[in-house]
Amino acid sequence: MKGSISSIETMSSVDGPGIRCVVFMTGCRKRCLYCHNPEMFQKGELNYTVDELVNKLLRYKNYFGKKGGITFSGGEPLLQTDFLIPVLKKLKKENIQIAFDTAGDYVGNVEELLKYTDLVILDIKDTREKEYEYLTKVKIEKVEEFIKILNKSQVKVSLRQVIIPNFNDNLDYLKSLKQYIKKINNVVDITFLPYHRLGREKYLKLGIPYPMEDTLDMDKEKCDKLYQEFLKL
Ligand code: SF4
């Protein structure tokens, strides 16, 4: 069995706790307007066997320390569940901490995969049905199914919310987010990420029109203030 991996980044400190290896897996069924990895939309060639990936990742084991480990990101890593389950089983035998950076789309036996997972970093996208679909081009139901499965597991959940000017940077949205996250168990933190246009160049190189041409970067100070307001709600 083989998986499709775009790249492996070593020594990351922004993709989960401690020092981590990040495995970027190709393929995603969403088309988020602000995606900064459009080159990952299509699933690429199957380029790693289970053992090739495990052996490569274990080379970095000594750098992980107590908190660090491996984060599977993408694209959407949960679209390659069948490949990842045997990978995780082998990594867990070596006591490696495992995280997934996901938007909650999945195929296959994700319940089994979560048995070998320590942390899910879940990108909320939007709490509102219509806006979710506008932003991602898919329906919200799938992520809601994923949240139900996640709630049956003991896995810790770290939430991410991108804040977009004139879209969700307002009190009404913050209130809706506060309500929405009450239905997710084991939430350890939530991070607000200000929308930025850094992915624009990639779209232009790929010959794809940038979908958020008229949206400016989110003001970081305003984003911080919204976060503080959110905490007080
Ligand atoms: S879920 Fe992630 S990888 Fe997929 S389109 Fe959205 S931002 Fe891009």
The predicted-structure confidence for 221-233, as pLDDT tens digits, reads as follows 999 999 999 999 9
Question: Is 28 near ligand 1, meaning CB less than 6 Å away?
Answer: yes
Closest ligand 1 atom, residue 29 Cα: 4
The pick from 22, 73, 76, 78 for probing ligand 1's pocket by mutation, whose C-beta has the most ligand atoms within 8 angstroms, reads 76
CA of 94 to the centre of ligand 1 (A): 30
Q: Which amino acid would we find at residue 112?
A: E
pLDDT at 5: 98
Q: What is the DSSP letter of 78?
A: G
CA of 224 to the centre of ligand 1 (A): 23
Name the residue with the closest Cα to ligand 1, atom 2. Answer: 75
Question: Is 30 near ligand 1, meaning CB less than 6 Å away?
Answer: yes
Name the residue with the closest Cα to ligand 1, atom 7. Answer: 35
Read off the tokens for 190: 């939530």
Name the residue with the closest Cα to ligand 1, atom 6. Answer: 32
Question: Is 35 near ligand 1, meaning CB less than 6 Å away?
Answer: yes
* The CATH fold of domain 2-232: TIM Barrel (3.20.20)
Question: Is 103 near ligand 1, meaning CB less than 6 Å away?
Answer: yes
User: Distance between alpha carbon 129 and the CA centroid of its chain, in Å?
Assistant: 19
pLDDT tens profile 157-186: 999 999 999 999 999 999 999 999 999 999
Q: Which amino acid would we find at residue 73?
A: S
CA of 42 to the centre of ligand 1 (A): 11
- pTM for this structure? 0.97
pLDDT at 18: 96
Name the residue with the closest Cα to ligand 1, atom 3. Answer: 75
pLDDT at 187: 98
Nearest-angstrom CA–CA distance, 50 and 93: 14
pLDDT at 62: 95
Question: Is 25 near ligand 1, meaning CB less than 6 Å away?
Answer: no
Describe the strand order of the beta sheet including 119-123 as a list of residue ranges: 5-12, 20-25, 69-74, 97-102, 119-123, 156-163, 187-194
Asked if 222 and 164 count as a contact pair (C-beta separation under 8 A), the reply is: no
pLDDT at 121: 98
Q: pLDDT under 50 in the chain at which residues?
A: none
Closest ligand 1 atom, residue 30 Cα: 5
